[in-house]
Structure 1
């Protein structure tokens, strides 16, 4: 049988490779040579009869089979760690939480603090929405917190919170005194926006186009904190999530015809039971503002 030919060491090596998507970094963590790691992964591909990753330029992406094998390998490691913990009280591997920088900055601080106060180990990885879903599919993350427009069917996506979209402006801006506004009010504005590939930028551009609004890019910036910083400097206004905290020199005005941003707790439905995961999920549901 195929399962009989999947060697535990090869599975463990593939789990590390899947987490890094990089032969150099994975080989360094495993303390093996790159040729040896290549050989292990080729062996797994030959056993399964399917490729486990593809190259896109310099980036390596897991195939669907690769994601499934990585999830299987990570589940195997989790079960082994739990068995050893029960056997001789060895600590199991840390729980892994995947989320974006904005979520860590503005939403997750209190739940994380309370989880760590329970003397639980937690590994944090910073990812965008696509990378969060990928980490959950391949088992390299146990729980994800991310904004989704359409939650994927194959993952367990539980609504967490939703936030309005607001315009961040300086107090002397023409729209600063408004109680609310519509997209048409942004006509002619030069906006501070994320890079063109970011989901927030894509959705904003589509909404402005649908509303027939002419606008321009004042500057592109990565991350809510930098967007707000440019607003404070007077570079231009920015559309941000309502949870973003702003200094006194920046005001926020709700935008009535933009949809709310919905955040979800995301897990893989068939992962092993883990009381730590239940604890963290409960803290997130109780303490995310």
Structure 2
């Protein structure tokens, strides 16, 4: 491999492409033409002798080598920025990037984020994403820390258990199940449920569990995100099974559901991430 063929410009361009996984948007951010970006990425892959991305259906997906190159490219840019800041006598102001989903931000991380930003507003940058995007962001170096519910723990990243909650059924206070200490899956037989859209992890889990228990149910409405799901329950549209960290709005009762596994949120980072004291400090604040 000819090290001279791997330029800093090519690495920086690939880091932007890896963030968007879209040549049009990446080229626009870099202020170059789309064909020019194609050439940069192709030549970088040829210099490294490895494919850096592939197409999966209509999406572009980084290979494992591509994720490693993107992570190195971002680390290279950060080290250069830190050096230039120190050389100019300025304190480096690079923020720690945290990637998480809606539920984590709403019900787990709010107090920590508020406290950190009150101390140093530029210390933290947030990315909102689903669990697959979170893992990709941590793998490519786009984020230093990620928080999400994970069914399978990634072998290439360090994971720390953050919090575990039961799954609960949200019902109106006057509902026949509201006084129960817990309800089995058969207790929701015939119910109209407010559920996430198809193929979302929570929806898939519910369908598998209810099908396995022989429980028939119907979709009252599909809704994206816990706030909208709980809002539909308060309107009387249907019942909903949600993560136990979701607070029951006024007029509703949360009844634990037996037969469903608890939901665990994990904090995820690269094994080397804690060598940065700012990342280690934020991790400690989140765990505390």
Question: Does the TM-score normalized on the shorter chain lie above 0.5?
Answer: yes
Residue 132 of structure 1 aligns with which residue?
134
2:163 is paired with a residue of what secondary structure?
strand
CA distance in 2: counterparts of 1:32 and 1:118, whole angstroms: 38
Q: For residues 208-219 of structure 1, what are the structure 2 equivalents within 5 Å?
A: 208-219=210-221
Q: Provide the rounded CA distance (Å) in 2 between the counterparts of 1:2 and 1:185.
A: 66
- 1:173 is aligned to 175
Q: Which residue in 1 is equivalent to 2:49?
A: 49
Query: How far apart, CA to CA, are the structure 2 residues paired with 1:52 and 1:68?
Result: 9
Q: Distance in 2 between matches of 1:194 and 1:9?
A: 42
Pairing 1:9–2:5 present: no
What is the CA-CA distance between 1:136 and the residue it aligns to?
0.9
Shift of 1:4: 3.5
User: Structure 1 regions of 5+ residues with no counterpart?
Assistant: none
- Distance (whole Å) between structure 1 residues aligned to residue 229 and residue 273 of structure 2: 37
How does the TM-score come out when normalised to structure 1? 0.94
**Equivalences for residues 1-289 of structure 1 within 5 A:** 1-87=1-87, 88-119=89-120, 120-271=122-273, 273-286=275-288
Residue 55 (structure 1) shift: 2.5
Please state how far the C-alpha of 1:267 moved relative to its aligned partner. Answer: 0.2
- TM-score where L is the length of structure 2: 0.94
The SS at the match of 1:60 is strand
Deviates more, 1:79-88 or 1:232-241: 79-88
Distance 1:45 1:251 in 2: 55
> Are residues 145 and 2 of structure 1, via their aligned partners in 2, closer, same or farther at CA, if it must alter by over 3 Å?
farther
Between 41-50 and 271-280, report the one with greater CA deviation: 271-280
* Matches of 1:81 and 1:275, distance apart in 2: 17
Secondary structure at the residue paired with 1:234? coil
Tell me by how many angstroms 1:165 deviates.
0.6
Q: Cα RMSD over matched residues?
A: 1.6
Mapped contact 2:273–2:280 kept (Cα < 8 A): no
Deviation at 1:73, TM superposition (A): 0.8
Unaligned runs of 5+ in 2: none
Structure 1 residues 240 and 2, CA, compared in 2 at 3 Å: closer, same or farther?
A: farther
Q: Secondary structure at the match of 2:275?
A: coil
Query: SS at the partner of 1:173?
Result: coil
- Cα deviation, residue 154, structure 1: 0.9
The 3-state SS of whatever aligns with 2:116 is helix
Shift of 1:90: 4.8
Q: Secondary structure at the match of 1:205?
A: helix
More relative contact order, 1 or 2 (CA 8 Å, 6+ apart): 1
More moved, 66-75 vs 170-179: 170-179
Question: 1:263 is paired with a residue of what secondary structure?
Answer: strand
Mark the CA change 1:93 to 1:34 in structure 2 (over 3 Å): closer, same or farther.
farther
Report deviation, 1:142. 0.8
Provide the aligned length of Structure 1 versus Structure 2. Answer: 286
TM-superposition CA deviations, 1:58-116 (whole Å, max 9, x none):
42211222111111111212222333343332534322111001111111111111111
Deviation at residue 7 of structure 1 after TM alignment: 0.4
Greater displacement, 164-173 / 90-99: 90-99
